[in-house]
Structure 1
Amino acid sequence: MEISRYVAFSSDPAGGNPAGVVLDATGVDDATMLATAADLGYSESAFVVPADDGTVDIRYFSPLAEVPFCGHATIATAVAHAQRHGTGRLHLRTKAGPVTVTTDRAADGSVVATLVSVAPRTAPLAGADLAELLAVLGWSAGELDPALPPRVAFAGAWHPVVAAASRDRLADLDYDMDALAALMARHDWTTVDLVWRESPTTFHARNPFPPGGVVEDPATGAAAAAFGGYLRELGLVPTPATLTIHQGVDMGRPSTITVTVPAEPGTGIGVSGTAVQI
């Protein structure tokens, strides 16, 4: 395998979320993919197998397990593919369903990739589950933003969405990794999407990711897509909307994710960003 390393959602190698990218993993078995992801040590790595019908199969592995969908590794893969083969559109077959990703050149010459997620949806976050999650995080119900109610959101993977009432609460993240990993495993949650609303269309996010073997994800495209669907389904933003999500700031890897939310219910959410090879 030829393994590339990219940082997604940043033009600075010191920011964003790193991912391993294998543009041709033909014939590579699951054990080798997992071992490669573990050796790289990034939150996810992507493995692509080109198909004859113009689509590509893509799989995502954290250091500990396969995940159904990963936004930042998709952006990294699309940019890597565009640099090798030129910009355009890719049709991806993921374990979560079909995802389209388009690449274009920005004015500064960088490649910007935009993925369109599978259809998003939300589910209630049961009171007992919310209470357990808050206890593990060390948060209290009084520290939540009542305008953004807790839910579990999906756009390829499931993420509890919990909104802090203040930036200080979001900045102070200290949790029991083993306890949170056990809770997330019971519910098949991929990351926990902790957010704070700076303005009607600007948000800050942090994403604990113990199922992947990392304390925190610096940029989570799948959670950003799920969050866009959550906002639309609950009527929390006027649509169509373009949102900016800042993530990774508190861990020293600033990332910027652009989310486009179409007005039509049930349609996929757009997630855009650039990537740079490291």
Structure 2
Amino acid sequence: MTEVPEILRYNAFAADPTGGNPAGVVLDAADLSDERMLQIAADVGYSETAFVTANRSEAGTPRYRVRFWSPAAEVPFCGHAAVATAVALAERNGAGEVVFETGGGEVTLHSTSDGEGTVTVSFTSVEPEVRDLEEDVLARLLELLGLARSDLDPRFPPKEAFAGNWHPTLVIRDRELFDQFRFSPAPVAALMREQGWHGTVTVLHASGDSDFDARNIFPVGRITEDPATGSAAASTGAFLRDLGRAGRTIRIHQGAHVRRPSLLTVTIPAVGGIVVSGGAVRLS
């Protein structure tokens, strides 16, 4: 009989007690095969589960090999599951700096704990990249979302942004349309597989100079929209820096459309990785 590892469950980036994005965390996964990790992720049923498969120390800083699996496949990086894992490690070993070696590159995380034991984590993404979204791919994506090019905010040309995963990033001008657009999950999922978009399709609305509302499309199994997406938040920071908005801190409000309100804080330095901050609370 296969031994079942301890599976922790955390809720990350919650804006209130009803919100956030749940993630599974397995801290002792060194002996698990790929097939077993996929099975566990499918059984847990969250958008991602994180598996710590190795650890070592370098110059006094703990380093962990962390792999992320959705119920359908491995993904290079998952921000909310990384935050959940960092909180779990801080609760076990104490707060401080750790480095995660992920499929998307090395990610540095800083955790702090307040007097009541609540842990907050900031992670610095890998070096981001931004590239133009090919016109034919953009046209296909817009059609699948029931949108037209004229529906996009001209201040934010559509791009693909990377800070651990590639995310096509669209900004809709009209708030009502942002709230109401619909899509069929299967064709969107097929386009995402074709284009190598292992994260989400990021759709934004600029609700203020420093505030963005986000819907992150992630059609995997029962899940169609992600309530809080750390990798997409980092990619959004890269997207905005490419448009000349370095030096700002923004707030991303996500999850309202799936009744799990979430809040992610994103700091956009002039160079280097994008910084995403939030917390996670233990569910079980």
Which TM-score band (shorter chain)? over 0.9
Q: Is the 8 A contact 2:217 2:225 kept in 1?
A: yes
Q: Is the 8 A contact 1:62 1:212 kept in 2?
A: no
Q: Is the 8 A contact 1:64 1:213 kept in 2?
A: no
Q: Is the 8 A contact 2:47 2:220 kept in 1?
A: no
Count of paired positions: 274
Would you say 1:268 and 2:270 are equivalent positions? no
Would you say 1:133 and 2:141 are equivalent positions? yes
CA distance in 1, matches of 2:220, 2:7: 23
> For residue 6 of structure 1, what is the aligned residue in structure 2?
10
Would you say 1:174 and 2:178 are equivalent positions? no
CA separation of 1:182/1:225 partners in 2, compared to 1, >3 Å: closer, same or farther?
same
Q: 1:171 Cα shift?
A: 1.0
The Cα offsets for residues 40-88 of structure 1, whole Å up to 9 and x where unpaired, read as: 1100010012323331100000000000000000011111111121111
> For residue 282 of structure 2, what is the aligned residue in structure 1?
277
CA distance in 2, matches of 1:213, 1:250: 15
> For residue 99 of structure 1, what is the aligned residue in structure 2?
107
CA distance in 2, matches of 1:106, 1:210: 36
CA distance in 2, matches of 1:259, 1:100: 15
| From 195, 203, 211, the counterpart of 2:204 | 195
> For residue 210 of structure 1, what is the aligned residue in structure 2?
219
Q: 1:222 Cα shift?
A: 0.2
Q: Is the 8 A contact 2:125 2:274 kept in 1?
A: yes
The secondary structure found in structure 2 opposite 1:257 is: strand
| One-letter amino acid of the counterpart of residue 200, structure 1 | D
Q: Is the 8 A contact 2:16 2:261 kept in 1?
A: no
RMSD value over aligned CA atoms? 1.4
CA separation of 1:70/1:133 partners in 2, compared to 1, >3 Å: closer, same or farther?
same
CA distance in 2, matches of 1:229, 1:180: 23
The secondary structure found in structure 2 opposite 1:104 is: strand
> For residue 247 of structure 1, what is the aligned residue in structure 2?
254
Q: Is the 8 A contact 2:95 2:111 kept in 1?
A: yes
The secondary structure found in structure 1 opposite 2:83 is: helix
Task: Pick which of 4-13 and 92-101 moved more.
Answer: 4-13
The secondary structure found in structure 2 opposite 1:210 is: strand
CA distance in 2, matches of 1:106, 1:240: 27
CA separation of 1:212/1:58 partners in 2, compared to 1, >3 Å: closer, same or farther?
farther
The Cα offsets for residues 159-186 of structure 1, whole Å up to 9 and x where unpaired, read as: 0000010221121131011111111111
> For residue 63 of structure 1, what is the aligned residue in structure 2?
71
CA distance in 2, matches of 1:213, 1:181: 12
Task: Pick which of 110-119 and 98-107 moved more.
Answer: 98-107
| One-letter amino acid of the counterpart of residue 25, structure 1 | A
Q: Identify unmatched segments of 5+ residues in structure 2.
A: none
TM-score (norm 1): 0.95
| One-letter amino acid of the counterpart of residue 217, structure 1 | D
| One-letter amino acid of the counterpart of residue 217, structure 2 | P
CA separation of 1:247/1:204 partners in 2, compared to 1, >3 Å: closer, same or farther?
same
The percentage of counterpart residues that share the same residue type is: 47
Q: Is the 8 A contact 1:11 1:276 kept in 2?
A: no
| From 32, 42, 50, the counterpart of 2:36 | 32
The Cα offsets for residues 10-65 of structure 1, whole Å up to 9 and x where unpaired, read as: 16552100000111112111111000000111000100123233311000000000
Q: Is the 8 A contact 1:12 1:276 kept in 2?
A: no
CA distance in 1, matches of 2:175, 2:265: 20
